[in-house]
Amino acid sequence: MIANLLNYIVWDPDPILAHLGPMTIRYYSTCWMIGLLLGYLLMSKLYKQQGLSDEKFSPLFLYIFIGVLIGGRLGHCIFYQPEYFLTQWDHFIEMLIPVHHMPDGSWKFTGYEGLSSHGGVFGMFIGIWLYCRNMKVSGWVVLDNMGICSGITATFIRLGNLMNSEIIGKVTDVPWAFIFVREDQYPRHPGQLYEALAYFCFFLLILFIYKKRGPKSVGTGFYFGLCLTLIFTFRFFIEYTKEIQVAFEAGLPMDMGQILSIPLIIAGVWSIASSTKRAKEKNVEAK
């Protein structure tokens, strides 16, 4: 296998997209922003199709952006690197603001290096709850619209991981294997690319179902449940192709990504199963 390294894809992109003075723009953060922007534009279109006003929609992006950012950051630090971020005061500061404490005592702006998709989802739920409470919008309507849009955002997040050469797969001899030069010289599963392609397909599938069923089908929890079930069931099984991200996972029966996926899969299946009842209640209210 190692003798045929030229048969594989050598992957060694610079994770930095551009320099703006002392600041750097990374592909990872750029992909996050593109994913959120596309989700925002699609959500705006869905709101208009469903007769919801711009005044109801405008604050949503801010609630979700802050929720996803805080949840994603805390999720990574607490679930994957607690021994680093929770043991020293300067590391704790690094968890909260996008800087790194250098060996010479100075602080360097680095951006947030590490965001958890599971933490981002939980943060999104909190952001949506606050938004619905303050804006008097049905939570199921917002969650269903998020279910329609989230796949495209998840796609770009995983592309950001690919540009960062992180969350790499196990050693393999499949012809599409990537050699992540920043890690080692072994051909590995491009797990980030698997996820990006799968999430994009899920996005197209859910969007197709929405177009067939129409705007009135939103608000039952079906699209929300379908999104959670598809994405996190795939996430659970694709973890078998990945290397563990942190050492303590080696002693667990499942890695952290699988453990955190289970409650979201359960929530997704429950949401789909109970959506019929909510649809009937919605039809009764409309009469």
Same domain, 29 and 72: no
Same domain, 245 and 260: yes
Same domain, 130 and 156: no
State residue 110's pLDDT score. 67
Same domain, 158 and 235: yes
Same domain, 162 and 27: yes
Of 85, 105, 136, at which residue does a domain stop?
A: 136
Residue 3 lies in a domain: no
End-to-end Cα separation, the chain, in angstroms? 66
pLDDT, one tens digit per residue, over 155-174 is 999 999 999 998 899 999 99
- Residues 259 and 274: their CA atoms lie apart, in Å, by 24
Compute the average pLDDT of residues 181-200. 95
Length of the chain equals 287
As for how many domains the chain has, the answer is 2
**Burial (CB count <10 Å: 0-12, 13-18, 19+), residue 35:** buried
Same domain, 156 and 225: yes
Same domain, 12 and 71: no
Choose the weakest-confidence range: 140-144, 191-195, 247-251.
247-251
Same domain, 173 and 37: yes
- The annotated binding site is made up of 158
Q: Which domain holds residue 96?
A: 56-136
